[in-house]
């Protein structure tokens, strides 16, 4: 990708020996880009609020501001309606599909029943935040993904997915013990508007071979650690 086309905050990243290619600008239009914005909700600083209808996630900071991230949500994530707490954080996490996932869609998950080590081929991407209720693992995660087209949309699988670049950006800001609040549909419509609360479409799960990522990274030149996008208008 020519350097002139790279979007600030979404360039080539070298992380723990892995090279993540830039996110192409066509995936970063409108709300589908990290932005520092006036926070439009009612939660306290130091909280994550996830709007799974609008496919947005807010990390709330003091002074009425928040980092807003686009997310993708699977059916598993859409069923999440309760507040949780982040009890674990992992860089380049391993992943094993649950028995329910294997039973529901064996054609997708059965070959991974033994687990997938951390790395470019892992569906949890570069970072994962593990959501608990008390000491019970809910098996919901906020995690990175290589499936760029899923961001801003719904899929048949997965929890709450972010661009790997955004997952890496958010990870050090969020300590364990952080509360994660799920915004309900009525509040999503009231706060974001009906058009945004209904944005996206349902897509089939997509596996991105790691060799495609390596090839894209090699073609992208040196790493780019430019600033993340700043305050932006609420363009759709």
Active site residues: 143, 159
With contact defined as beta carbons under 8 Å apart, do 128 and 143 qualify?
Answer: yes
Phi, psi of 7 (to 5 degrees): -85, 135
Residue spans of alpha helices (H) in the chain: 75-78, 99-104, 106-109, 164-170, 185-192, 194-197, 210-218
**Which value, to the nearest 10 degrees, does the dihedral of the CA atoms of residues 54, 164, 25, 29 take?**
10
With contact defined as beta carbons under 8 Å apart, do 88 and 130 qualify?
Answer: yes
Cα–Cα dist 79/212, whole Å: 32
């Amino acid at each position: 990708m020519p350097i002139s086309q790279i979007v600030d905050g979404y360039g080539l990243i070298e992380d723990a020996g892995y090279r993540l290619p830039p996110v192409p600008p066509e995936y970063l239009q409108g709300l589908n880009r990290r932005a520092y914005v006036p926070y439009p909700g009612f939660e306290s600083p130091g909280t994550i609020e996830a709007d799974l209808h609008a496919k947005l996630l807010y990390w709330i900071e003091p002074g009425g501001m928040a980092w807003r991230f686009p997310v993708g949500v699977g059916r598993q994530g859409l069923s999440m309606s309760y507040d949780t707490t982040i009890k674990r954080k992992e860089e380049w996490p391993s992943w094993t599909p649950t028995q329910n996932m294997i039973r529901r869609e064996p054609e997708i998950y059965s070959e991974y029943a033994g687990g997938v080590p951390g790395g470019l081929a892992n569906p949890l991407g570069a970072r994962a935040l593990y959501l608990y209720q008390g000491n019970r693992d809910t098996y919901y995660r906020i995690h990175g993904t290589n499936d760029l087209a899923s961001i801003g949309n719904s899929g048949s699988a997965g929890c709450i997915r972010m661009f790997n670049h955004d997952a890496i950006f958010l990870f050090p800001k969020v300590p364990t013990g952080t509360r994660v609040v799920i915004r309900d549909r009525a509040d999503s419509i009231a706060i974001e508007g009906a058009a945004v609360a209904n944005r996206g479409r349902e897509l089939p799960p997509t596996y991105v071979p790691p060799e495609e990522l390596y090839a894209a990274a090699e073609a992208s030149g040196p790493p780019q650690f430019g600033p993340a996008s700043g305050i932006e208008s609420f363009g759709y």
